[in-house]
């Protein structure tokens, strides 16, 4: 009896393990798909009626640091701070073997496979990348600023043009190389101002990207060098007689993609960490890159 009872047990155990393994196999791709489509934790309501509807901000910051794998540099001093200080301010970096790195590497790998098998064989096919947190990672600045953007301190980090400060987003240099090998032209489109164009090219190149400076589009708030944005220049009600750049990010970016495509380029894939990078058309497909650090409407 004991032997006959024992015999089925390993079988049932094996079945149980197999079904657990199957469940995991089903779960992992669905998680990957969720990340690929940019689904995220629902945002809290704009007008909460109870604190229970809102995440605790310190716990969110702790989770972000855990996701990136927060690491304090022992060598790289924060741009714009005093390197001679008794206790210099060292930047924080992400762990190249952390959850963030693995997630973006998986998205880049999947995109690379899709681009390699793309059915269109047009001569002018292209891909388009955003810069901050799509091709260059700005975790160091978010920690330095405690997640509060300041144009002046941010400019110190940008103008350093240092890949130790803003390194490549994991997987994205390899994705660019693979796309180029399959005949794609590469464009970069960023909300960074025109004055930061040179530093942006330098940082991207130092981080390993191939960059044609004529294929990098920064925001000219006067629209003088980007005449397709002329309709963005509108009267500024706060300063009578003056004008301002009145277009949203979605408008600025989609109008610029429209301009690029008007030159005979087919943007096959558009990569961005913000939904405002991806809305507004003029791309055959979009890829949302993870960024839980900030939201740009």
Binding site for Mg ion (CB under 5 A): 130, 132-133, 273
DSSP 148: -
Q: Work out how close the CB of 274 gets to Mg ion at its nearest, in angstroms, rounded to a whole number.
A: 5
Shortest Cβ distance from residue 181 to Mg ion (Å)?
25
Cα 39 to chain centroid, rounded: 14
Cβ closest to Mg ion, residue 144 vs residue 188:
188
Minimum gap (Å) between residue 260 Cβ and Mg ion:
18
Of the pair 133, 226, the CB lying nearest Mg ion is at: 133
Name which of 133 and 176 has its Cβ closer to Mg ion. Answer: 133
- Closer residue to Mg ion in complex, CB, 132/220: 132
Cβ neighbours of 270 (radius 10 Å): 28
Sign of the CA dihedral running 165, 166, 170, 173: negative
Q: How many CA atoms lie within 13 A of 252 on its CB side?
A: 23
Q: Nearer to Mg ion by C-beta: 133 or 142?
A: 133
Q: Judge contact between 288 and 272, C-beta under 8 A.
A: yes
Cβ contact 218:238 at 8 Å: no
Give the Cα separation of 92 and 66 in Å (integer): 12
| Shortest distance, position 263 Cβ to Mg ion, whole Å | 23
* Cβ at position 277, least distance to Mg ion in Å: 6
Closest CA relative to residue 199, chosen from 214, 213, 187: 213
Q: Toward Mg ion, which CB reaches closer, 191 or 208? A: 191
Report the nearest approach of Mg ion to the CB of residue 188 (Å).
11
Q: How many residues does the chain have?
A: 297
Closest residue to Mg ion in the complex (CB) = 132
């Amino acid at each position: 009896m004991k032997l006959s009872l024992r015999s089925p047990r390993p079988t049932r155990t094996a079945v149980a393990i197999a079904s657990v393994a199957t469940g995991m196999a089903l779960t992992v791709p669905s998680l990957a798909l969720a990340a690929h489509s940019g689904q995220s934790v629902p945002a809290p309501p704009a007008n909460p009626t109870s604190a229970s509807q809102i995440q605790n901000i310190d716990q969110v910051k702790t989770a972000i640091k855990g996701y990136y794998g927060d690491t304090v540099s022992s060598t790289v001093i924060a741009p714009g701070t005093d390197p001679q200080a008794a206790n210099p301010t060292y930047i924080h970096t992400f762990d190249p073997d952390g959850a963030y790195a693995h997630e973006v590497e998986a998205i880049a790998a999947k995109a690379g496979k899709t681009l390699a098998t793309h059915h269109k064989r047009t001569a002018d096919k292209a891909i388009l990348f955003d810069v901050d947190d799509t091709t260059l990672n700005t975790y160091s600045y978010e920690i330095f600023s405690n997640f509060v953007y300041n144009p002046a301190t941010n400019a110190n980090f940008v103008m350093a043009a240092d890949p130790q400060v803003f390194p490549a987003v994991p997987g994205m240099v390899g994705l660019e190389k693979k796309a180029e090998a399959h005949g794609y032209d590469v464009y970069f489109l960023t909300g960074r101002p025109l004055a930061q164009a040179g530093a942006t090219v330098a940082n991207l190149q130092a981080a390993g990207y191939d960059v044609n400076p004529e294929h990098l589009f920064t925001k000219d708030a006067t629209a003088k060098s980007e005449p397709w944005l002329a309709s963005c220049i509108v009267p500024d009600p706060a300063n009578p007689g003056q004008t301002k750049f009145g277009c949203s990010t979605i408008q600025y970016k989609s109008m610029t993609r429209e301009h690029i495509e008007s030159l005979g380029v087919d943007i096959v894939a558009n990569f961005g960490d913000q939904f405002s990078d991806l809305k507004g058309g003029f791309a055959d497909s979009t890829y949302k890159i993870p960024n839980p650090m900030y939201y740009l409407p």
